[in-house]
Amino acid sequence: MPDRRQPDSPTDDNPFAAPPEGRPDQPWQPRGGGDGGGDGNGNGRPDSEGRGGPARWDPTDPIQRRARYALLAGMWGFFFGIFGIPSVGLLLGALAMYWGISALRGKPASAEPGQAPAPGGLAALGEAARPQRTAAVSGLVTATLAILLAMSSYAVQLAYKDFYVCRDDALTNAAELQCNTLLPDNFVGDVLKVRQ
């Protein structure tokens, strides 16, 4: 069976390929690829403009960084609140609230002289703002839940302070069971009740 040769693949994607016939050699230039440095043709146009896609995650941008911090801190604050560590949940919730608000209202990098003032906050990112806005808003929601869990935990401890003092001071299991009389006969009392 004769060997069929595949058509030559285009060399546009190969930076090490020789130039086509008739075109003179050109000095090597780095290709932008997905980093936004150029469109691969050496004209220096950002890659996001060339394809019309959103810009990538930039960890050096404080607005994007704060949006991610807000999401992470809010999520961990919510988990700490659920697992009964309200002080850490309150701290992380407050940090997430601060980072989320500063990401939504933050100022972009200072514009060069002669340029019109850029929009503030995540609006300065254009198409890249959607995932960062989602992260910031999710961080605010989880931060609010973490703060509510911490505050409700402190409110329960304050409302039933006598029970908690009695339970902490009890030296025996029988004495600890006697502290159940200080609880109300409702759902909260059933949850907090000392079990045998």
- What single-letter DSSP state applies at residue 124? G
Residues 12 and 126: their CA atoms lie apart, in Å, by: 30
CB neighbour burial string for 118-155, b if at least 16 within 10 angstroms, e if fewer: eeebbebbeebbebbbebbbbbbbbbbbbbebbeebee
* 102-143 residue pLDDT tens: 888 876 555 455 555 555 556 666 666 778 888 889 999 999
Residues 47 and 40: their CA atoms lie apart, in Å, by: 8
Contact 95, 65 (CB under 8 A): no
Supply the Cα-derived Rg of the chain in whole angstroms.
30
Q: Which residues of the chain have pLDDT under 70?
A: 1-13, 15, 30-57, 107-128
Q: Indicate whether this model's pTM tops 0.85.
A: no
**pLDDT score recorded for residue 128:** 61
